[in-house]
């Protein structure tokens, strides 16, 4: 039985016009689509399909807004805040279920997800680096903001050189961070140095901002004898105990419950630092993400969940990854304070992280930041993104909505940076990276026996067998790899081949 309503939308004629305009527009859109799909190549076809999906969603939202469908197509008195005598009576008899704090209603209504308004994108600068509201700019000195820019560009240079190294076969693998520099530097700058970082694999800028030297980035990627991980991890799996940056694991989302556990430990020890946990929007689909969010909320842990929503999980675009309002939209349902920010606006990221950090520490509560950005590079050197997205799509983000370009415009508008500074700095940054790269390439490799250390005090039989098998194979190739000499330590004494 339909309920009576006071909203004009329920006038039948209005309903008819709205439905008619909705469908006629769709027919029009699909006619264009058919023509476009007949005449263009595969890349263009995919781009057309994607823009059509977006168009449909925008159109739907536009019509629903203009027709006042925001609540529900058949609004119940409950939704429309229409206070009837009956409702007062119903409310007086409140539910006693332990699992929800809600009121009774006699309205059979399923919540339509696309009728709930989406979380806006918080920003401080527009795409051209113009400040939108001057009172919202973080109070940072010229030196600090220039440092942001220099770190972002140095990071970008390191990425270019390591990516090329992989292409030339010098290292086995690499993942660039192009286009996401603003999320790294903005968030890293808002943290305290003793806040603990759990990353995914695309947050090297956070480590760079904390002062991890270029030589150690290179040592890790080259798996040489200087690598803190002793050459045991694949490239980009950095870690630094001194800089409170937990070593990366490849297995998606494992860092999320681990980070929550660490935050819970901080709380129990009554320490005032917090944990920040980075992950991609793709990793947010893992079960570990749910476990982490729920534990953090129920145990009230001082943690910032920082999601880099860069549009893709390898080749899967976001519109195939989820149906709700992104990742920030999930936060409130876990009871987590959440925000969506423009990740290409380094000041917005800084402000949001600073506020979340301050409140997480003071209130012992989790916070969720969804930073909207775009992965300009391929997923990794094992990926070719031209098979699933168009050049035009990438070019837009590279040329028109890029965090480095945006910050440069901001600096230039204040007279804090110019063409001369740019040239000199770019040259210096390239020199620093190239020198570190050459040093790393010339270094010896760590002893392979280190593969079996640092986990078991006494090696189990299965690993002892693997170690023997490794050395059996090694004999034939040992002369081709320059190894660091074995140190005379406990491990060396156990080593069956101390002369290697
Ligand atoms: C448990 C698990 N499943 C699958 C993979 C393979 N994998 C590596 S990266 C990736 C996509 C992750 O996307 P996202 O979290 O959005 O991060 P992005 O690469 O976009 O930064 C996948 C599926 C993995 N490493 N671990
Ligand atoms: Mg992603």
Q: Domains (ranges, CATH) in the chain?
A: 12-96 (no CATH), 121-446 (3.40.50.970), 453-500 (no CATH)
What is the position in ligand 1's atom list of the atom closest to the CA of 321?
Answer: 16
pLDDT band at 482 (very low <50, low <70, confident <90, very high): confident
Stretch (H or E) spanning 338: strand 337-342
Give the span between the Cα atoms of 191 and 482, in whole angstroms. 41
Of 250, 382, 386, 395, the catalytic one is 250
Q: Which of 131, 122, 137 is nearest to 343 (CA)?
A: 122
Q: What is the greatest pairwise CA distance in the chain?
A: 91
Nearest CA to ligand 1 atom 17: 280
pLDDT at 63: 44
pLDDT at 481: 76
Arithmetic mean of pLDDT, 337-342: 98
Contact indicator for 70, 117 with CB cutoff of 8 Å: yes
pLDDT band at 480 (very low <50, low <70, confident <90, very high): confident
Q: Which of 375, 377, 307, 373 is nearest to 336 (CA)?
A: 307
Q: Who has greater pLDDT, 20 or 396?
A: 396
Cα of 226 to ligand 1 centre, how many Å? 28
Nearest CA to ligand 1 atom 8: 252
Cα of 203 to ligand 1 centre, how many Å? 14
CB neighbour class for 373 (10 Å; exposed up to 12, middle 13-18, buried from 19) = buried
Instruction: Provide Rg for the chain, Cα atoms.
Output: 27
Enter the pTM of the model: 0.81
With both helix axes pointing from N to C terminus, report the angle between 142-167 and 181-189 in degrees, rounded to the nearest 10.
Answer: 140
What lies within 8 Å, CB to CB, of 318 at 6+ separation is: 281, 309, 311, 312, 326
Q: Which of 283, 286, 311, 371 gets mutated to test ligand 1 (max ligand atoms within 8 A of its CB)?
A: 283
pLDDT band at 91 (very low <50, low <70, confident <90, very high): low
Task: Please give the backbone phi and psi of residue 369, each rounded to the nearest 5 degrees, phi first.
Answer: -115, 125
| 343-400 tens-digit pLDDT | 999 999 999 999 999 999 999 999 999 999 999 999 999 999 999 999 999 999 999 9
pLDDT at 44: 58
Give the span between the Cα atoms of 350 and 137, in whole angstroms. 10
pLDDT band at 57 (very low <50, low <70, confident <90, very high): very low
Extract the tokens encoding 385.
Answer: 């993104």
pLDDT of residue 47 exceeding 80: no
Contact indicator for 282, 326 with CB cutoff of 8 Å: no
What is the position in ligand 1's atom list of the atom closest to the CA of 375?
Answer: 20
Q: In what order do the strands lie in the sheet with 303-309?
A: 121-122, 337-342, 367-372, 303-309, 275-280, 196-198, 245-246
CB neighbour class for 92 (10 Å; exposed up to 12, middle 13-18, buried from 19) = exposed
pLDDT of residue 70 exceeding 50: no
Contact indicator for 339, 328 with CB cutoff of 8 Å: yes
pLDDT at 32: 53
| 260-276 tens-digit pLDDT | 999 999 999 999 999 99
Give the span between the Cα atoms of 350 and 407, in whole angstroms. 13
Cα of 289 to ligand 2 centre, how many Å? 14
Contact indicator for 126, 132 with CB cutoff of 8 Å: yes
Cα of 252 to ligand 1 centre, how many Å? 6
Q: Who has greater pLDDT, 32 or 265?
A: 265
Classified as helix, coil or strand, 127 is coil
Give the span between the Cα atoms of 43 and 106, in whole angstroms. 51
Give the span between the Cα atoms of 263 and 250, in whole angstroms. 21
pLDDT at 54: 47
Give the span between the Cα atoms of 188 and 203, in whole angstroms. 10
Cα of 251 to ligand 1 centre, how many Å? 8
Contact indicator for 22, 14 with CB cutoff of 8 Å: no
Cα separations in angstroms, 47 against 50, 207, 243, 387, 401: 5, 35, 42, 12, 18
Of 164, 320, 435, 468, the catalytic one is 164
| 102-129 tens-digit pLDDT | 999 999 999 888 778 899 999 999 999 9
Q: Which of 282, 311, 371, 389 gets mutated to test ligand 1 (max ligand atoms within 8 A of its CB)?
A: 282
Is 380 in the active site? yes
Arithmetic mean of pLDDT, 38-43: 55
Extract the tokens encoding 86.
Answer: 């009956």
Cα separations in angstroms, 60 against 23, 145, 318: 10, 41, 19
Cα of 385 to ligand 1 centre, how many Å? 14
Classified as helix, coil or strand, 190 is coil
Nearest CA to ligand 1 atom 19: 313
What is the percent of the chain where pLDDT is above 90? 73
Arithmetic mean of pLDDT, 169-189: 98
Nearest CA to ligand 1 atom 7: 252
Cα of 313 to ligand 1 centre, how many Å? 6
What is the position in ligand 1's atom list of the atom closest to the CA of 279?
Answer: 15
Maximum average pLDDT range among 34-43, 49-58, 65-74, 325-334: 325-334
Ligand nearest to the CA of 311: 2
What is the position in ligand 1's atom list of the atom closest to the CA of 254?
Answer: 1
What is the position in ligand 1's atom list of the atom closest to the CA of 251?
Answer: 26
Of 184, 237, 378, 379, the catalytic one is 379
pLDDT of residue 474 exceeding 90: no
pLDDT at 12: 43
Q: Which of 252, 258, 278, 343 gets mutated to test ligand 1 (max ligand atoms within 8 A of its CB)?
A: 252
pLDDT band at 86 (very low <50, low <70, confident <90, very high): low
CB neighbour class for 11 (10 Å; exposed up to 12, middle 13-18, buried from 19) = exposed
Nearest CA to ligand 1 atom 25: 251
Is 402 in the active site? no
Cα separations in angstroms, 304 against 76, 191, 250, 360, 417: 37, 10, 21, 7, 33
Contact indicator for 37, 141 with CB cutoff of 8 Å: no
Residues by chain with Cβ below 5 Å of ion ligand 2: 280-282, 310, 313
Is 164 in the active site? yes
Classified as helix, coil or strand, 107 is coil
Arithmetic mean of pLDDT, 249-257: 97
What is the position in ligand 1's atom list of the atom closest to the CA of 281?
Answer: 16
- Which residues contact ligand 1 via a Cβ below 6 A? 202, 250-252, 280-283, 308, 310, 312-314, 375, 379
Give the span between the Cα atoms of 84 and 78, in whole angstroms. 9
Give the span between the Cα atoms of 205 and 184, in whole angstroms. 5
Cα of 96 to ligand 2 centre, how many Å? 42
What is the position in ligand 1's atom list of the atom closest to the CA of 284?
Answer: 15
Percent helix, strand, coil in the chain (nearest 5)?
A: 50, 10, 40
């Amino acid at each position: 039985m339909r309920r009576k309503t006071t909203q004009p939308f329920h006038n039948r004629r209005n309903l008819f016009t709205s439905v008619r305009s909705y469908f006629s527009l769709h027919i029009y859109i699909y006619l264009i689509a058919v023509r476009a799909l007949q005449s263009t190549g595969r890349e263009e076809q995919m781009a057309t399909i994607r823009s059509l999906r977006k168009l449909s969603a925008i159109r739907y939202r536009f019509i629903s807004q203009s027709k006042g469908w925001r609540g529900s197509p058949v609004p119940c008195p409950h939704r429309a805040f229409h206070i009837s005598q009956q409702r007062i009576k119903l409310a007086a008899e409140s539910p006693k279920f332990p699992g929800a704090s809600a009121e009774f209603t006699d309205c059979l209504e399923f919540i339509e997800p696309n009728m709930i308004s989406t979380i806006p994108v918080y920003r401080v600068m527009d795409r051209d680096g113009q400040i939108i509201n001057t009172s919202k700019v973080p109070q940072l000195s010229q030196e600090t903001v220039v440092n942001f820019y220099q770190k972002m560009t140095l990071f970008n240079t390191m990425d270019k050189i390591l990516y090329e190294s992989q292409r030339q076969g010098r290292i086995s693998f690499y993942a660039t961070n192009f286009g996401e520099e603003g999320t790294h530097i903005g968030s890293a700058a808002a943290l305290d140095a003793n806040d603990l970082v759990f990353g995914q694999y695309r947050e090297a800028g956070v480590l760079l901002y904390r002062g991890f030297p270029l030589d150690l980035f290179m040592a890790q990627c080259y798996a040489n004898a200087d690598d803190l991980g002793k050459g045991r991890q694949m490239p980009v799996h950095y870690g630094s105990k001194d800089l409170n940056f937990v070593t990366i694991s490849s297995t998606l989302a494992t860092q999320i419950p681990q980070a929550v556990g660490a935050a819970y430990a901080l709380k129990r020890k009554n320490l005032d630092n917090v944990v920040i946990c980075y992950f991609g929007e793709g990793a947010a689909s893992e079960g570990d993400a749910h476990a982490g969010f729920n534990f953090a909320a129920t145990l009230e842990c001082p943690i910032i969940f920082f999601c880099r929503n860069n549009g893709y999980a390898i080749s899967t675009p976001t519109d195939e990854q989820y149906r709700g309002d992104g990742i920030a939209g999930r936060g409130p349902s876990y009871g987590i304070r959440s925000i969506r920010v423009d990740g290409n606006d380094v000041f917005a990221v800084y402000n949001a992280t600073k506020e979340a950090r301050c409140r997480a520490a003071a209130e012992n509560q989790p916070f969720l930041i969804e930073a909207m950005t775009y992965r300009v590079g391929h997923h990794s050197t094992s990926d070719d993104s031209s098979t699933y997205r168009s050049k035009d799509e990438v070019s837009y983000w590279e040329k028109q909505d890029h965090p480095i370009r945006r910050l440069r415009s901001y600096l230039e508008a204040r007279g804090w940076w110019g063409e001369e500074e740019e040239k000199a700095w770019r040259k210096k940054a390239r020199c620093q990276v190239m020198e570190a790269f050459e040093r790393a390439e010339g270094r010896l490799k760590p002893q392979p026996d280190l593969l079996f250390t640092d986990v078991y005090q006494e090696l189990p039989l299965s690993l002892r067998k693997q170690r023997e098998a490794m050395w059996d194979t090694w004999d034939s190739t040992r002369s081709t790899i320059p190894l660091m000499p074995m140190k005379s330590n406990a491990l060396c004494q156990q080593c069956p081949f101390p002369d290697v």
